[in-house]
Amino acid sequence: MAGPERRRVLIAGGGTAGHTNPGIAVAEALVRTGLAPTDIGFVGSTRGNEATLVPAAGFSLDTLPGRGIPRKIGIAAVKSIAELLKGQLQARALLKRRNPEVVLCLGGFAAFAPSMAARSLGIPVVVTEQNARASAVNRVVGRFAQACALPFPPTDLPKGVLTGNPIRRAVSDALSDSSPERRREARRQLGIIDDDLILVAVWAGSLGAASVNSAVRDLAVRWADRTEVAIYHVVGRRNPEALQPPDGASPERYRTVAYEDDMPSLLLAADVALTRGGASTVAELAVAGLPAAIVPLPSAPRQHQLANARELEKVGRAIVLDDAELDGPYLAARLDPLLEADRRATMRAAIPDVDHGRAADEVSRLVRAHLQDSTA
């Protein structure tokens, strides 16, 4: 728990990197406008990855009890509701102590109690939504928020302002440098020596996805004789068995890693991406201009990954694949057209509806409008 100092801006939410990193991106943008890092605080859950991400970025973090409420009624749901009520009381006390001028709601269960406490205390709330279909928390908080920052033009939130999905300046700057020299450097960092290879980069979140991994391993065998194509496969931390290449795959052109720390280099080195449709992934693909085949997670709430993927598909930057159809032949048939240079050039030239690289600055402007000495 951080100390008793005031925070002019309180950023509420976390649980996953998809919520936490956009919040950090906005916090960094606020610092660029003149706020001190000590003017900004985060409040999240005791269970989320914000416990490591936020302090590493140089900001303070308060934590509250709570967890997502399971959809099935049972003991776990009752415990979750009890923790949520406890968190609500603690959130109100926390906001009285921190006395923020504005609260930024990132969504997710960790944002609910602080946002509701802000409403009860008359503190302005700004929502930033990462997905094309808003989360349950943001749909509730959006009813009384002063503004709702949106990642894509369609909206199911009131008072919507199109901003894009915030990504951190270091990432957006890295992705914006698509020079041949930077591309070669990125490939060397990944151990890819041949600049002429068509590189297909595969990832499905930090933990990976069994359906994607199985289909890609089959594809690697089918493409073993295709000397113009290489696959760089991030299998995920919970799939160590997928690290061993299948019999028949080319050891020179099929590489597996459990986790990739340098995602900007992977996006710059690749010619085609095969990935899930998470909000941050879609925003980074858009900034990088990387042609993509997106396999939305079927179980994502409100099919938000499918909606995210459709936003890139409709402007010509991506194709959308069906997780239920995934196998080697299906991937080969859908990816083959993307191996053609003309098709990739057309996809790269397509212009997204929103500049996600500027999103953090746009959301910070909405937040600054509620600071007493704001010039926004």
Kindly list the domain boundaries of the chain, sorted by start residue: 9-164+357-368, 170-353
Q: What is the mean pLDDT of residues 121-143?
A: 96
Q: What is the mean pLDDT of residues 332-336?
A: 98
User: How many CA atoms lie within 13 Å of 165's alpha carbon, on the beta-carbon side?
Assistant: 27
% helix, strand, coil for the chain, step of 5: 45, 15, 40
- Asked if 56 and 319 count as a contact pair (C-beta separation under 8 A), the reply is no
Asked if residue 167 has pLDDT above 70, the reply is yes
Q: Which of 80-84, 89-93, 120-124, 292-296 comes out lowest in average pLDDT?
A: 80-84
94-114 pLDDT, tens digit per residue, is 999 999 999 999 998 899 999
Asked if residue 2 has pLDDT above 80, the reply is no
How far apart CA 175 and CA 268 sit, in angstroms, is: 7
Asked if residue 329 has pLDDT above 50, the reply is yes
Helix (H), strand (E) at residue 45: strand 40-45
Under CATH, which number does the domain 9-164+357-368 receive?
3.40.50.2000
Superfamily of the domain at 170-353: Glycogen Phosphorylase B; (3.40.50.2000)
For 44, other C-beta atoms within 10 Å of its C-beta total 29
